[in-house]
Amino acid sequence: MTAAASAAGDQGPDGREDEYRPDPRRWRALWVTLVAGFMSLLDVTIVAVALPTVQHNLHASPAQVQWIVSGYSLTFALALVTAGRLGDALDRRRIFLMALCGFVVFSAACGAAPNITLLVVARLAQGLAAGFMAPQNSAFIQQLFRGAERGRAFGYFGATVGISSASGPLLGGTILALADGQQGWRWIFYVNVPIGILAVLLGRRLLPRSRPSGRRHVDVPGVLLLGLGVLALMYPLVQAEAGGLARLWWMFPVGASILTVFVRWQYRLVARGTRPLLDPRLFTTVRGYAVGAGVGTLYFIGFSGVWLVFALFYQNGLAFSPLRSGLAVTPFALGSAGAAVVAGRLVDRYGRLLTVCGLAGVICGLGGAALLLRFAPVGIAPWIAAPVLFLGGIGGGFVVSPNITMTLRDVPVNMAGAAGGALQTGQRLGAAVGTAALPGLFYMVLGNGDDYQGALVIALGTAIAGMVTSLALAVFDWRRDRRLRGMHGKCTQEVANSPMHSRQS
């Protein structure tokens, strides 16, 4: 075993965790994975501001252009759990570097695409590569860090998730402003190439190898069942702009049925003593995993959709440029970045309470922004909405980072990739629902009129409703943790006061 692998504290063939010895390069390795993760998540939203230019330049239809965004999200989600399991079973360093190389190549292919068909194909491949990278990020944190350091590392990871999602419109608008002309949209993809090459070179030097668990079996039927189930649930959503929800509604019950079969198959493999693709005991025996996955999925329904709604409101309703539209929502990204890093240092002390407070902050921030943009004079509304968006961003930073930490902290290292992949699959499903439903609702309320403020309020109100549901789940988990800690403290005190303990003392 290499020194890096030994330092990582991974698990051996017997399933027991090796003695943990901190890798001196662990923080530099973390930044390599965060840069790659930032690029892959940024590409979900950064292209949205360039879609009108792409459509005009490549003479594409609205449905074809929509696949530039939705196709990436689809293949991203399809790859996550399988990629996580392969990283656990084989070597997550190798999987990560191969996926990162693919992401760089396909980013260049997107930028060079001569027509819309090749651009969509390249985006599908780029999303697949991103899906193979993503679960390795959280798995590396599980492998490289322990205790309070793990909370800090997940804090940086949460900040990366929040910033990449919220800053996409701003960075996309900036690139379009700098790369003027009809071909300027290509630099949105080309910018990944030099950054990705540097990340590959540094990753080869800094990332540790993980020792295989000794069980290299990959559950192929499980891969197919999960892939078909996720595809059936997401395809109508990614086709929403082309009437997919009305035409393909029947795929939702089909997808739910396939996923039910998948779960039963996973339980059957566990009963046989065979390693499943996604161990269902993660949801039943690992403390906090099921609740954390639910909180993340519900939160991303609102979190991912609101940025498209803001872009539609500012660009179509107020005639903002892409850059100015991105600047208008930058306060949220700034608040989220700072809060996520702080939250990573506090999660060991306050636990789920951080998520509860963070969700309350996001709800207040988005609700306040909706009311101000609805009733304040149009000329000053974006300015006076900035402070409440900053408040919402602080809340968002206290949601994503602590929730990831609380969800994955008790997951065994040899299951970290699959667990991280499943968590992010739920987030991608939530994001797909949000990005399909909220803009659709915005357009439905707008109709043939010009009440952009009213459409914004209804869309943001719907996003807030999803976050309220997430808040209720987080409050339930927080109260349960307090009750369990109280029971544990009471039992400890009773033991301390027992006559037997007194005599032994």
Of 185, 180, 173, residue with least CA distance to 327:
173
Distances in whole angstroms, Cα of residue 167 to Cα of each of 323, 324, 378: 11, 12, 23
Predicted pLDDT at 13: 35
Whether residues 135 and 94 share a domain: the answer is yes
Distance CA 325, CA 440 (A): 20
- The structure tokens listed for 360 are 């309350």
Question: In which element (H, E) is residue 417 found?
Answer: helix 416-446
Domain-ending residue, one of 233, 257, 276: 276
Of 262, 76, 82, residue with least CA distance to 165:
76
Determine, yes or no, domain membership for 4. Answer: no
Exposed, middle or buried: residue 438 (CB in 10 Å: 0-12, 13-18, 19+)?
Answer: buried
Predicted pLDDT at 166: 66
Distances in whole angstroms, Cα of residue 155 to Cα of each of 204, 336, 352, 401: 24, 11, 14, 5
β-pair partners for 11:
17
Q: What is the DSSP letter of 255?
A: H
Distance CA 8, CA 6 (A): 5
Determine, yes or no, domain membership for 21. Answer: yes
Whether residues 23 and 42 share a domain: the answer is yes
3 state DSSP class of 11: strand
Structurally, the chain folds into a number of domains equal to 2
- Percent of the chain at pLDDT > 70 equals 88
Determine, yes or no, domain membership for 447. Answer: yes
Of 357, 343, 366, residue with least CA distance to 461:
366
β-pair partners for 17:
11
Whether residues 204 and 315 share a domain: the answer is yes
- The structure tokens listed for 125 are 């491949």
Whether residues 343 and 472 share a domain: the answer is yes
Buried-exposed string 166-191: b where 16+ CB fall within 10 A, e elsewhere: bbbbbbbbbbbeeeeeeebbbebbeb
Predicted pLDDT at 216: 58
Predicted pLDDT at 10: 45
**pLDDT-based confidence at residue 110 (cuts at 50, 70, 90):** very high
Distance CA 23, CA 206 (A): 10
Whether residues 263 and 400 share a domain: the answer is no
Q: Are 252 and 232 in contact (CB under 8 A)?
A: yes
Distance CA 238, CA 304 (A): 14
- Which amino acid is it at 70? S
Determine, yes or no, domain membership for 418. Answer: yes
Domain-ending residue, one of 276, 293, 325: 276
Whether residues 374 and 403 share a domain: the answer is yes
- The structure tokens listed for 334 are 């700034």
Average of pLDDT values for 78-91? 81
- The structure tokens listed for 369 are 């922004």
Whether residues 102 and 51 share a domain: the answer is yes
Full DSSP string of 191-238 = THHHHHHHHHHHHHHHPPP----S-----HHHHHHHHHHHHHHHHHHH
Residue with tokens 């988005």: 366
Whether residues 149 and 161 share a domain: the answer is yes
Determine, yes or no, domain membership for 5. Answer: no
pTM over 0.85: no
Determine, yes or no, domain membership for 240. Answer: yes
Whether residues 260 and 287 share a domain: the answer is no
CB count, 10 Å around CB of 82?
Answer: 26
* Position 12 pLDDT exceeds 50: no
* Position 241 pLDDT exceeds 70: no
Of 88, 32, 31, 35, residue with least CA distance to 419:
88
Q: What is the pLDDT of residues 427-478, one digit of tens each?
A: 877 877 787 778 878 878 887 678 888 889 999 999 999 899 999 999 988 8
**pLDDT-based confidence at residue 488 (cuts at 50, 70, 90):** low
Q: Are 414 and 87 in contact (CB under 8 A)?
A: no
Of 460, 167, 438, 462, residue with least CA distance to 328:
167
* Position 258 pLDDT exceeds 80: yes
Whether residues 178 and 237 share a domain: the answer is no
Determine, yes or no, domain membership for 119. Answer: yes
Predicted pLDDT at 29: 92
* Residue of higher predicted confidence among 97 and 377: 97
Whether residues 270 and 284 share a domain: the answer is no
Predicted pLDDT at 199: 92
* Position 106 pLDDT exceeds 70: yes
Whether residues 129 and 192 share a domain: the answer is yes
- Percent of the chain at pLDDT > 90 equals 22
**pLDDT-based confidence at residue 358 (cuts at 50, 70, 90):** very high
Distance CA 446, CA 440 (A): 10
Owning domain of residue 253 = 219-276
Q: DSSP H helical segments within 248-321, as ranges?
A: 251-272, 281-284, 289-312
Q: What is the pLDDT of residues 14-37, one digit of tens each?
A: 344 456 677 788 899 999 999 998
Of 127, 126, 82, 75, residue with least CA distance to 231:
75
In the predicted model, what is the mean pLDDT of the chain? 81
Predicted pLDDT at 493: 53
CATH number of residue 113's parent domain: 1.20.1250.20
3-state helix/strand/coil string of 78-95? HHHHHHHHHHHHCCHHHH
Exposed, middle or buried: residue 205 (CB in 10 Å: 0-12, 13-18, 19+)?
Answer: exposed
Determine, yes or no, domain membership for 367. Answer: yes
The residues, ordered by sequence, that sit 6+ positions from 503 with a Cβ below 8 Å of its Cβ are: none
Q: What is the DSSP letter of 17?
A: B
Q: What are phi and psi of 11, to 5 degrees?
A: -105, 145
381-408 vs 289-312: helix crossing angle, rounded to 10? 160
**pLDDT-based confidence at residue 172 (cuts at 50, 70, 90):** confident
* Position 100 pLDDT exceeds 90: yes
